[in-house]
Amino acid sequence: MSDNPKWLNNAVFYEIYPQSFMDTDCDGVGNINGITEKLDYIKDLGCNAIWLNPCFESPFGDAGYDVSDYCRVAARYGTNDDLINLFNEAHRRDMHVILDLVPGHTSWEHPWFKESMKAERNQFTDRYVWTDSIWEEPTGYGSLRGISDRDGSCAVNFFTHQPALNYGFYKPTRPWQQSVDSQGAIATREAMKDVMKFWLSRGCDGFRVDMAGSLVKNDEDSKGTITLWQNMTDFVRKEFPEAVLVSEWGEPDKSLQGGFHMDFLLHFGPSHYNDLFRCENPYFDGKGTAADFVEKYIDSYEKSERKGLICIPTGNHDMDRLARHIHGDNKKLAFAFLLTMPGAPYIYYGDEIGMNYVEGLTSVEGGYGRTGSRSPMQWDNSINAGFSAAPSEKLYIPIDPSEDRPTVQSQLNDKNSLRSEVKKLISIRQAHKALQSKGEIEFITKGEEGKPLSYIRKTEGEQILISVNPTDKPCEFKIDSRVKEVIYSLGDGAVIKEGSIVIRECSAVFAIL
């Protein structure tokens, strides 16, 4: 895809898990109107875009990533009109909302799948990946078998109840494997375009695309999946040029070729994201190393033509809360890094106040170990932390029971709070083009163990040095350019010398060069 829609260049996203953000109808589950009510809170933080996790009809075996009707808001969240109202209210505030598109699979309760299970041929027979005998497994990742009269096994994508939609096989090797240009595969692709069109024409500003790299099967180098996305993103670019598509793919060289505007850095695979935030000794907790992350980041950056369109999230609904591993003011250092990197930053709801991972919960809606990161937003000290007026046993997930749990209310007017620091960091990002999505990046120090992580962000006419030192030792490093002005400092900051900088322990500094 050629140029980005302009709004993406300075977008700072806030990810909302709708179940857990704000409940205004007192059923213990968050809803769309609750999000609309809190738009001013999000805007005040400085975020100007929202990624909303799936909010469509679903049996909720995977928290809504098992869709049973792509074009209808789940009753527990409200109505389509409520969602359209959210789009309008967001636009009124100069904000944008992207939805979560799950194109790879549906719920086994989707009407398409119910038709597809039938022995008689019909319009949906080829909508999913089926073998032609129940004794043959489709893709090696698991299947649904013996569930209807249809003699075949259906491939699944994630959980067993999520049958895989058919976008074809890049290299079919068995008679039942359809090619990428078979009628069945093309019909699936067109049906997914209809879904996109449905929401984009009602005011939605784009999509975060779930498991975007997994659609075409037997596609080792992703060539088939890239071509498929080129077709879909072309359609979006032509009909909705201001719409944004961000992929959950984790390989920007591939996803950007497919036409996505940006790609997520994933917490699995080769990214080394976890080295920074989520491992035994995470770099931002002051102990580990960021060097492997930096190597891999540079590699992806170069491969995607230095476009820098890699989104690094603070966390998300699939991984541990940031605060589970990064302690005290080191969280501020983590944000100083996250909010000065290229691409669009994504703040997972509640991370801005340092919400904790809630330990020991029983799985809710297919969350398993992820459930502890999906607990209700902590607004204040009133009943259910201000999330819902329902009896607490009816809450979707229990509130963090810790007595010292952070709340928005306690942090809002405290200038030393994490939330205040996040707000300040976003406003600095918004004041300097070099710090935004498209500014280039060049690493100066790579955050080896005991060392700071330092880089220069650049656009025409502006160069900003960022140095973040989460370790307990000061460190001196060389710089070629002269420091003109320090625009941000955290902890004891830095000592600027001629040709070098000493960054103090547990400190960060941003300086115009």
Residues near ligand GLC, by CB under 6 A: 62, 65, 102, 158, 210-211, 248, 317-318
Closest of 319, 300, 439 to residue 15, by C-alpha: 319
Number of residue whose CB is nearest ligand GLC? 65
Cα–Cα separations (whole angstroms), residue 105 to 28, 190, 215, 371: 28, 15, 9, 22
Q: What size, in residues, is the chain?
A: 513
Nearer CB in complex with ligand GLC: 90/165: 165
Closer of 101 and 256 to ligand GLC (Cβ): 101
- Three-state DSSP state, 72: strand
C-alpha to C-alpha distance for 134 and 147, rounded to whole angstroms: 10
Cβ proximity to ligand GLC, 57 vs 318, nearer residue: 318
Give whichever of 316 and 471 is closer to ligand GLC, judged by the CB atom.
316
The SS3 assignment for 217 reads strand
* Minimum distance of ligand GLC from residue 208's CB (angstroms): 9
Whole-angstrom distance, CA of residue 203 vs CA of residue 289: 43
Minimum Å gap between C-beta 65 and ligand GLC is 3
- Nearest distance from C-beta of residue 261 to ligand GLC, angstroms: 19
Shortest CB 212 distance to ligand GLC, Å: 10
Question: Are 227 and 180 contacting, i.e. CB atoms less than 8 angstroms apart?
Answer: yes
Close Cβ partners of 65 (under 8 Å, ≥ 6 residues apart) = 54, 58, 100, 102, 158, 162, 210, 366
Rounded to a whole number of angstroms, the minimum distance from the CB of residue 472 to ligand GLC is 35
CB of 319 to ligand GLC, least distance (A): 9
CB of 463 to ligand GLC, least distance (A): 36
Q: Which of 324, 316, 248, 335 is nearest to 46 (CA)?
A: 335
121-126 long-range Cβ contacts below 8 angstroms, 24+ apart:
125/184, 126/166, 126/178, 126/182, 126/183, 126/184, 126/185, 126/187, 126/188
Q: How far is the CB of 396 from ligand GLC (least distance, A)?
A: 15
Shorter beta-carbon distance to ligand GLC: residue 128 or 158: 158
- Is the Cβ of residue 248 or residue 253 nearer to ligand GLC in the bound state? 248
**Residue 3, exposed/middle/buried by CB under 10 A (0-12, 13-18, 19+)?**
exposed
Return the number of other C-beta atoms located less than 10 Å from residue 394's C-beta. Answer: 13
The owner of tokens 């590699």 is 299
Q: Are 340 and 372 in contact (CB under 8 A)?
A: no
For ligand GLC, the closer CB: 102 or 180: 102
- DSSP conformation class of 105: B
- Residue keyed to tokens 């650049």: 458
DSSP code at position 279: S
Q: Which is nearer to ligand GLC, 373 or 445 (CB)?
A: 373
Which residue lies nearer to ligand GLC by CB, 367 or 439? Answer: 367
Which position has the token pair 């930096």? 294
Instruction: Please report how close the Cβ of residue 367 comes to ligand GLC at its closest, in angstroms.
Output: 9
Q: What is the DSSP letter of 454?
A: E
**Shortest CB 16 distance to ligand GLC, Å:** 14
Nearer to ligand GLC among residue 127 and residue 161 (C-beta): 161
Do the Cβ atoms of 179 and 226 come closer than 8 Å?
Answer: no
Taking the least distance from each CB to ligand GLC, the nearer of 211 and 412 is 211
The 8-class DSSP code of residue 5 comes to P
Strand positions, DSSP E, 152-253: 154-155, 206-209, 244-247
Specify which residues 508 forms β-bridges with: 468, 490
What backbone phi and psi angles, to 5 degrees, belong to 23? -105, 110
* Minimum distance, C-beta of residue 329 to ligand GLC, in the bound complex (Å): 30
Token pair for 169: 């096989």
- Would you say 247 or 454 has its CB closer to ligand GLC? 247
Shortest approach of ligand GLC to residue 248 CB, angstroms? Answer: 6
Of 308 and 313, which has the nearer Cβ to ligand GLC?
Answer: 313
Q: CB of 268: closest distance to ligand GLC in angstroms?
A: 9
Measured in whole angstroms, how far is the alpha carbon of residue 160 from the centre of its chain? 23
Separation of first and last alpha carbons in the chain: 33
